[in-house]
């Protein structure tokens, strides 16, 4: 008498293939989440720098005679610069001012682009650091 016993279930190879596929999909999803997190941090830093422009004009109007010389040391602008610190890269915003102009900027998360705002009303991404530390107070 021959018994026909059929075994039901997965083989070891089938289970390993499924686990490998799940691992690959998980790594793709995690990479996408990191990119989104970097973009979010950059957006927050850009927003903080853009908000500094309005505060800088208030500092200018309050000074007698009108001057941008105190923009970077103003408490509200300083708070905006602190807020512009990129949470991902740890980069902090730079700010430089003279009597007739000011500029502030930060290196973005990818480390290759620089976001800059200045007293001319410019606010944008640059391919390189505009050398604010060298006394340049414009982004261009």
pLDDT digits (tens, 9 = 90+) for 60-94: 898 889 888 888 888 777 777 777 776 666 777 88
Task: Check pLDDT > 70 for residue 9.
Answer: yes
**What is the CB neighbour count within 10 angstroms for residue 13?**
8
Range name among 4-8, 54-58, 100-104, 112-116 with the lowest pLDDT average: 4-8
- Range from 9-18, 66-75, 121-130 that averages highest in pLDDT: 9-18
84 DSSP 8-state letter: T
C-alpha span between 24 and 30 (Å, rounded): 10
**Residues 39 and 88: beta-carbon distance below 8 Å:** no
pLDDT digits (tens, 9 = 90+) for 100-122: 888 888 888 888 888 999 988 89
pTM of the entire predicted model: 0.71
Task: Check pLDDT > 70 for residue 35.
Answer: yes
The tokens describing 81, both together, are 């610069």
Contacts of 77 (CB under 8 A, 6+ apart): 52, 55, 56, 59, 71, 95, 104
Task: Check pLDDT > 70 for residue 32.
Answer: yes
| Average pLDDT for the chain | 83
């Amino acid at each position: 008498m021959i018994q026909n016993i059929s075994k039901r279930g997965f083989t070891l190879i089938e289970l390993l293939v499924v686990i490998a596929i799940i691992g690959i999909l998980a790594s793709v999803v995690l990479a996408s989440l990191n990119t989104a997190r970097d973009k979010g941090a950059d957006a927050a830093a850009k927003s903080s720098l853009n908000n500094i422009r309005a505060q800088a004009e208030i500092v200018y109007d309050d000074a007698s005679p009108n001057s941008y010389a105190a923009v970077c040391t103003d408490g509200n602008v300083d708070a905006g610069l602190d807020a512009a610190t990129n949470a991902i890269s740890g980069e902090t915003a730079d700010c430089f001012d003279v009597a007739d102009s000011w500029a502030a900027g930060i290196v973005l998360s990818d480390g290759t682009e620089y976001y800059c705002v200045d007293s001319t009303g410019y606010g944008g991404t640059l391919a390189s650091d505009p050398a604010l530390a060298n006394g340049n107070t414009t982004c261009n």
